Amino acid sequence: MTKTTKIIIAAVVAVLLVGGGVFAYTQNKDDSSTDKMAMEKDASTDDAMAKDDTTADDAMAKDDAMMSDDAMAKHGSYVTLATYNADPSKYADSTKVYFFHAPWCPSCKAMDDAINADASKIPTGVTLIKTDFDSQTSLRQKYGVTLQHTFVQVDNDGNKVAKWSAESVDALVAGIQS
């Protein structure tokens, strides 16, 4: 290799390193501010859950009180995996989407809050199933889920139709296949 070639390669590597560093810094800065806001918003929820000593499924089952059938009448439904498993036939005619959620995940908490704040954005005929990321390892493996806040749409036989991540309810809805 000539000296000029080595200098060009060194310059390209330096530019890539600086660019990567700037990108990582800005992403980390955005993530930390988002994480901080989400953590502050949910501090009271975390305290209540810690005092309760409930399991993740118990904590998610409490959310079902906020997801009543009356509230779901004009749009899709948002239920926990425990509620879905108690009577899957109730959801047989709906499009099923698993939401792999972790209670410690700021993005998951923000998405959960957004869904609960405006469940009318869930399309009619869609059942969104809140699924605990940490405890449902067999479902994670079955559908190839490696990150929390992942959504997996399945057909009536439980076969994966689509898999995506979303940071907003609009992005969640956009990922649903018809």
Residue 59 lies in a domain: yes
Confidence at 143, pLDDT banded by 50, 70, 90: very high
Instruction: Judge if 85 and 106 occupy the same domain.
Output: yes
pLDDT of 46 above 90: no
Task: Tell me the pTM.
Answer: 0.60
- In terms of domains, do 14 and 89 share one? no
Shared domain for 34 and 58, answered yes or no, is no
Residue 27: domain span: 3-41
- φ, ψ (nearest 5 deg) of residue 89: -65, -25
DSSP secondary structure string for all residues of 60-74: HHHHGGGS-HHHHTT
Residue 145 lies in a domain: yes
d(CA 16, CA 21): 8
Closest CA to 155 of 136, 175, 177: 177
Helices (H) and strands (E) in the chain, counts: 8, 5
CATH code for position 147: 3.40.30.10
Q: Are residues 167 and 146 in the same domain?
A: yes
pLDDT for res 123: 94
Instruction: Examine the domain organization and report whether 26 and 73 are in the same domain.
Output: no
State whether 19 and 59 are in the same domain: no
Integer CA distances (angstroms), 160 to 65, 109, 112, 151, 172, in order: 29, 24, 22, 10, 16
Q: What is the pLDDT of residues 79-119, one digit of tens each?
A: 999 999 999 999 999 999 999 999 999 999 999 999 999 88
Say if residue 67 is in the same domain as residue 118. Answer: yes
Residue 46 lies in a domain: no
Based on the domain organization, do 33 and 60 belong to the same domain? no
Task: Quickly tell me which residue has 């005619």 as its tokens.
Answer: 93
